Amino acid sequence: MPWFFLRAWAVGYFMVRTRQIERDVPGSALVRAAGLGWPILALAKLGRDVAQVWQHRRRVGARFLPTLPLLAAFETTLFLGGVGALLKLPSPRVVVGRASAASARHHGCPAGGPVSIGRCPSRSESTVV
């Protein structure tokens, strides 16, 4: 379960950071407007996620109502991750796999070591691998 919440936090965090940096990403004007648009963007994401859960419930054999508490927990954590980005908190470290030799050389990480979104274990600056 900790991975679930870390992932939700990271999604919200990087949704905001990306929109703060890149002007062409949909919703970036909302986020850059002193961060006041983040709640609007988060509500739009919530609507999309609820629609996806509804759309795919039969394919994965899930019932809609039992998924709502988990969805609520994910969306709340996602929202707080976005708030964390607005408050300029450090980026989350989400391990997504192992570094190949080429990737490790490029990013300065040890070959075969963890590859993360946010921070490379051997470096202090933020990277996206």
At 101 the pLDDT is: 57
Of 2-11, 27-36, 92-101, give the range with the top mean pLDDT.
2-11
Give pLDDT tens digits for 101-117: 555 555 555 555 554 55
Measured distance CA(74)–CA(4) in Å, rounded:
8
Average pLDDT over residues 21-48: 84
> Which secondary structure element, helix H or strand E, spans residue 79, and what is its range?
helix 64-86
Q: Is the pLDDT reported for residue 97 higher than 80?
A: no
pLDDT of residue 13: 93
Per-residue pLDDT, averaged over 74-99, amounts to 83
Confidence (pLDDT) at 102: 57
pTM of the model as a whole? 0.66
Average pLDDT rounded to a whole number, residues 28-35: 78
Cα(129)–Cα(121) distance, integer angstroms: 11
Cα angle 5, 92, 13; round to 5: 75
Average pLDDT on 13-34 reads 86
Helix/strand/coil (H, E, C) string of 7-45? HHHHHHHHHHHHHHHCCCCCCHHHHHCCCCCHHHHHHHH
Q: Which two tokens stand for residue 14?
A: 């990087």
